[in-house]
Amino acid sequence: MGCALTVTLAVMGFVVGQAQAKPIVYPSKGQSAQQQQKDEGECYVWAKNSTGIDPAAVAAAPAPAPKTGPAVGGGERAQGAVRGAVVGGIIDGGSGAGKGAAIGVVAGGVRARNNQKSQNAQAQQQAQAQKQGAIDTFHRAEAACLEGRGYTIK
């Protein structure tokens, strides 16, 4: 199981790495280097205008800021306190409920921080996927323009 997961993630990383690369342009109709440079520049502008995507701006866009602070642990701490109080009350009817509640608050805080880390990681992954989707759309438009001008795109 672990090996399959590692291989799958490695392949996914390779595919994502491949998707990020700009397509290779070959002048299949004998275009000169100067003509190719001119065509690539014009197709870049056309793709930017037709898709509304500027790959330089997309790549430079900041990642979403991670959520932190006192809002972390809204319900987890309270639930931990209740659970701790119940268990503490069962074990030691006297002061056990108070001690259990205190321990439960700490455990709930740990759970809340772990949940927040997971949510932050998911937000980062979604932002990266959106960036990559925008860049891929731009490159498809740019490739269509260049193919229309007689270039082979890989």
- pTM > 0.75: no
What's the pLDDT tens digit per position in 48-96? 999 999 999 988 888 777 776 655 556 765 666 666 656 666 666 666 6
Determine, yes or no, domain membership for 5. Answer: no
22 in any annotated domain: no
Determine the average pLDDT of the residues in 114-130: 88
Q: Estimate to the nearest angstrom the gap between the alpha carbon of 93 and the chain centroid.
A: 49
Ranges assigned E (strand) in 18-68: 25-26
Domain that holds residue 38: 33-153
Backbone torsions φ then ψ of 70, nearest 5 degrees = -65, -20
Q: Is there a domain that residue 53 lies in?
A: yes
In the 8-state DSSP scheme, what is residue 1?
A: -
* Domain presence at residue 25: no
Q: Please tell me the predicted confidence (pLDDT) of residue 2.
A: 47
Do 27 and 36 touch, CB atoms closer than 8 A? yes
Digit-coded pLDDT (tens) for 93-120: 666 666 666 777 677 777 778 888 888 8
| Domains held by the chain: number | 1
Is 3 inside any structural domain? Answer: no
C-alpha 77/C-alpha 33 separation (Å) is 65
Residue 94 lies in a domain: yes
